[in-house]
């Protein structure tokens, strides 16, 4: 039974919402509006000469074949990070859930990497895999594998993706573990009595019941991979070699803050904003349908 609470004062609700609204206005709408304005201008770095160019910046960005490459690369990286980190986390959570002894210790240890900043996670992996001084990197080369992520774009891409996924495993692990523990033991016991194997129990009972958690995590992970891998990339490859690890967010930074092309960078930000909006709408639609079903 839902209890309906009615405010007597007509203004109180607005007053309560006001601080949040103010924060959103100042820190989101205002800069976003400035960004939109900037995206229609062509300006030198110091802002001494400004020219209104309409949609030129958008046309330039969207017709650049490298922009499309970067877009596809970002999508691939997001999909890989989401898949890698979620599948690993699910496996670990399923194990930790069943651990009889020392379960608490496992859980604590598995959550640790979440405390590592993305930039550090990236540096950590790159140091390990550095072809000249890294333990693994030198080892690989000794084994006759030509390992050099500074030269080979595919290797750099793999390394960034793995580093970003590793960091996200902990977060997913916590949610999956909570999800697993919320599944009534009686259901699984009943299935076990009926003779279902552990594997079958997992696929037919646990996995479907975890679906809402999984879906939530999928969206969170995709957004994470899209935006927060910035720190990993900035601390390691700076988008190289040959642009092999440049994502949409990194390109915005590179063009705007390194190249000082504010108009072009703002136009790309606007495109990014549209992508995020689309992702959010998709999430709500799908969640609504789930709730309705």
Partner 1 sequence: MKLPRTIAAALLGGLLLTPAAHAATEIQWWHAMGGELGEKLASIAEGFNATQSDYKIVPIYKGNYTETMTAAVAAFRARQNPAIVQVFEVGTATMMAAKGAVYPVYKLMADTRQPFDPKVYLAAVTGYYTDSHDNMLSLPFNSSTPVMYYNKDAFKKAGLNPDMPPRTWPELETAAKALQKAGTPCGFTTGWQSWVQIENFSAWHNLPIGTRENGIAGLDTRLAIDSPAHVKHIGRMAAWQKSKIFDYGGRRSDAAPKFYKGDCAMYMNSSASYAGVKKNVGFAFGVAPLPFWPEIAKEPQNTIIGGASLWVLNGRPKAEYAGVAKFFSYLSSPAVQADWHQFTGYLPITKAAYELTRSQGFYDRNPGTDVAIKEITHKAPTANSKGLRFGNFVQIRDIINDELESAWAGKVDAKTALKTMVERGNKLLRAFEKANKG
**Rounded-to-integer distance, Cα 268 and Cα 39, Å:** 8
What the block records as the tokens of 14 is 């607005």
- From 10-18, 191-199, 258-266, 270-278, give the range in contact with partner 1 by CB under 8 A: 258-266
Contact 96, 103 (CB under 8 A): yes
Compute the least distance from the CB of residue 284 to partner 1, in Å.
30
Compute the least distance from the CB of residue 43 to partner 1, in Å.
7
Compute the least distance from the CB of residue 42 to partner 1, in Å.
5
**Rounded-to-integer distance, Cα 211 and Cα 186, Å:** 19
Closest to 63 (Cα-Cα) out of 241, 260, 264: 264
Q: Is the dihedral of CA 284, 67, 239, 258 positive or negative?
A: negative
Beta bridge partners of 276: none
> Is 67 one of the binding residues for partner 1 (CB under 8 A)?
no
2: which DSSP letter?
Answer: P
CB atoms within 10 A of CB 214: 16
> Is 69 one of the binding residues for partner 1 (CB under 8 A)?
no
> Is 45 one of the binding residues for partner 1 (CB under 8 A)?
yes
- If the CB atoms of residues 179 and 264 are measured against partner 1, the closer one turns out to be 264
- If the CB atoms of residues 74 and 237 are measured against partner 1, the closer one turns out to be 237
- If the CB atoms of residues 27 and 284 are measured against partner 1, the closer one turns out to be 27
* Residue of 19, 47, 144, 292 that binds partner 1 (CB under 8 A): 47
Spell out, one character per residue from 210 to 249, where the chain touches partner 1: x when CB under 8 A holds, - when not: ----------------------------xxxxxx------
Compute the least distance from the CB of residue 49 to partner 1, in Å.
4
Region 8-27 residues binding partner 1, contact defined as CB under 8 A: none
- If the CB atoms of residues 100 and 133 are measured against partner 1, the closer one turns out to be 133
Compute the least distance from the CB of residue 72 to partner 1, in Å.
17
Compute the least distance from the CB of residue 38 to partner 1, in Å.
10
* Residue of 260, 274, 281, 282 that binds partner 1 (CB under 8 A): 260
Query: Where does the chain show beta strands of DSSP type E?
Result: 41-43, 50-52
What the block records as the tokens of 278 is 């689309």
DSSP string of 201-265, one letter each residue:
HIIIIIHHHTHHHHHHHHHHHHHHHHHTHHHHHHHHTTT-STTTT--HHHHHHIIIIIS--HHHH
113: which DSSP letter?
Answer: G
> Is 43 one of the binding residues for partner 1 (CB under 8 A)?
yes
What the block records as the tokens of 2 is 């839902």
Region 119-158 residues binding partner 1, contact defined as CB under 8 A: 132-133, 148, 150-153
Contact 161, 77 (CB under 8 A): yes
Compute the least distance from the CB of residue 58 to partner 1, in Å.
15
- If the CB atoms of residues 15 and 133 are measured against partner 1, the closer one turns out to be 133
Q: Is the dihedral of CA 249, 231, 150, 139 positive or negative?
A: negative
Total binding residues for partner 1 by CB under 8 A? 30
End-to-end CA distance of the chain: 20
**Rounded-to-integer distance, Cα 243 and Cα 231, Å:** 16
Residues that bind partner 1 (CB under 8 A): 31, 42-49, 51, 132-133, 148, 150-153, 238-243, 254-255, 257-261
């Amino acid at each position: 039974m839902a209890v309906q609470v009615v405010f007597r004062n007509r203004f109180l609700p607005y007053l309560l919402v006001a601080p949040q609204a103010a924060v959103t206005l100042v820190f989101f709408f205002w800069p976003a509006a400035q960004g939109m304005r900037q995206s229609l201008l062509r300006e030198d770095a110091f802002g001494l000469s400004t020219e209104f160019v309409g949609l030129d910046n958008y046309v330039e960005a969207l017709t650049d074949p490298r922009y499309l490459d970067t877009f596809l690369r970002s999508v691939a990286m997001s999909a890989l990070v989401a898949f890698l980190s979620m599948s690993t986390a699910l496996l670990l959570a399923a194990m930790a859930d069943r651990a009889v002894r020392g379960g608490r210790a496992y859980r604590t240890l598995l959550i640790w990497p979440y405390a590592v900043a993305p930039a550090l996670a990236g540096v950590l992996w790159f140091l390990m895999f550095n072809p000249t001084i890294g333990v693994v990197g030198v080892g690989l080369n000794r084994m006759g594998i030509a390992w050099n992520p500074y030269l080979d774009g595919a290797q750099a891409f793999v390394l960034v993706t793995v580093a970003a996924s590793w960091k996200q495993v902990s977060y997913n692990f916590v949610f999956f573990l909570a999800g697993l523990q919320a599944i009534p033991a009686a259901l699984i016991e009943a299935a076990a009595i009926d003779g279902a194997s552990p594997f079958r129990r997992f696929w037919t009972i646990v996995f479907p019941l975890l679906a809402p958690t999984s879906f939530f995590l999928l969206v969170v992970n995709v957004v994470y991979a899209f935006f927060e891998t910035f720190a990993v990339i900035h601390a390691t490859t700076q988008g190289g070699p040959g642009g092999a690890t440049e994502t949409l967010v990194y390109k915005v930074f590179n063009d705007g803050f390194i190249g000082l092309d504010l108009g072009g960078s703002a136009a790309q930000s606007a495109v990014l904003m549209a992508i995020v909006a689309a992702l959010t709408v998709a999430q709500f639609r799908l969640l609504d349908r789930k709730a309705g079903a």
